[in-house]
Chain A
């Protein structure tokens, strides 16, 4: 109850720090989501319709990567971006870009694996029709993506949920630097470690509310578009 009123207080007082942190969380996770969707959706679709040896193994691998612990992803990206690592010259460690990269690594497998299942299902239904119409290759890939767009929003939301909620990866590559790389989850971890449990829980409520809004928005748009299409 205290946490709810704390969350309410943070929001109605328009706490400037809170909004800065909230905005960075959204910016980082949405950027990661956009990049992951551009990679993951075509990859998942292609794996559903392509035929090549080792395809099943590749899909298995993607599914396994969905269970990758964020802290491991964070560690790998840290070692790559560290000034003494192979990509150190980019100077990206402890920046929001590093956090985006880590989240892309984390959620691309999720989006690819989930969309793969959606499209595989569709493919069983459509493959003969597409074949007889001569729709193959990249045209078939596009056709599937467009046709399954509503089902695919769920895959994207799953990716977003993972990105906005994780703390293990962003705290390692971002460093939880105040006014630079502090996001909602790392702020919650920090406040917990300071013993400010009510404030930490309040931030958690705010984050949950944000997640609720994003989901409602996406599902709302989906319902609206679906209704118009079949009206």
Chain B
């Protein structure tokens, strides 16, 4: 039996060539189609440079992506939760962290807008209005980057949504898309990154009801996983990947990507 497993394993492991890397990623970059656009360009560019790499993306929430990378199950981390990312590097799991691009979070909800977010002064006011109106709010509840942001905003608004969990505050424990499906169906408000929302195809009666607040800034970062902590990582190819994204060519490609005529990510490599 052991021989069988090993021979089956060998038959398939031809896929995992030395120049292949695994990117542990947030979901928004995949669900919005960004990788489908970027990766062929990257593979072509780096191929010309003679350091061609094949990139495999595992898209999970930021929290899970970081945990997977801590278990050494990824060569690069591409997520959006700056303080968690900095901790990852400080703990020695990442060699460095660089700003890559940004967009912003928005609050979507039913067009009827029962909590009157249209009149909200800022995002704190918007959340307080949702609570006071007794409107429903669908939360990721999965420790993702978006969820971390959402919790910090509730905290800033001095509201403990956990007290209403299962009543008005609905924690789906799922990805952005699944939470949007739930929220849209229930007529709930949802905090989402703009890219996922624009690319989302099941909007039904929902629309962006609050946006454009500095507190809703959403920064993405890129981190190559440390070869010291994780001797199995393909550190060289990870560097090629990160440096291409941070290069003029990579930044231009990020800028050029559009869905429905809208730019989804704004490059800001430091």
Contact = CB atoms under 8 A, between A and B. Distances in A.
B261 to A, nearest CB: 19
A94 B35 CA distance: 18
A175 B56 contact: yes
A88 B232 contact: yes
Given A95-B16, A97-B9, A177-B57, A194 B199 contact: yes
A180 B181 CA distance: 27
A193 B176 contact: yes
A154 interface: no
Interface residues of A, number: 31
Interface string B1-28: 1001100110111011000001000010
A97 B181 contact: no
Interface string B67-85: 0000111000000000000
B22 A100 contact: no
Given A96-B12, A177-B56, A83 B1 contact: no
Contacts of A175: 22, 56, 58
A93 interface: yes
A59 interface: no
A84 B229 CA distance: 10
B15 A95 contact: yes
B194 to A, nearest CB: 15
Interface centre among B9, B27, B35, B203 (most CB of A within 10 A): B9
20 contacts: A35-B5, A82-B71, A82-B73, A83-B72, A83-B230, A84-B71, A84-B72, A85-B71, A91-B16, A94-B22, A95-B13, A97-B8, A97-B12, A176-B58, A192-B178, A192-B181, A194-B200, A195-B180, A196-B201, A197-B202
Interface of B: 1, 4-5, 8-9, 11-13, 15-16, 22, 27, 31, 35-36, 56-59, 71-73, 175-178, 180-181, 199-203, 230, 232
Interface of A: 31, 35, 38-39, 82-85, 88, 90-97, 100-101, 175-178, 180, 190, 192-197
Given A94-B58, A180-B15, 8 more contacts: A38-B4, A84-B230, A88-B72, A92-B13, A175-B56, A177-B58, A193-B176, A196-B201
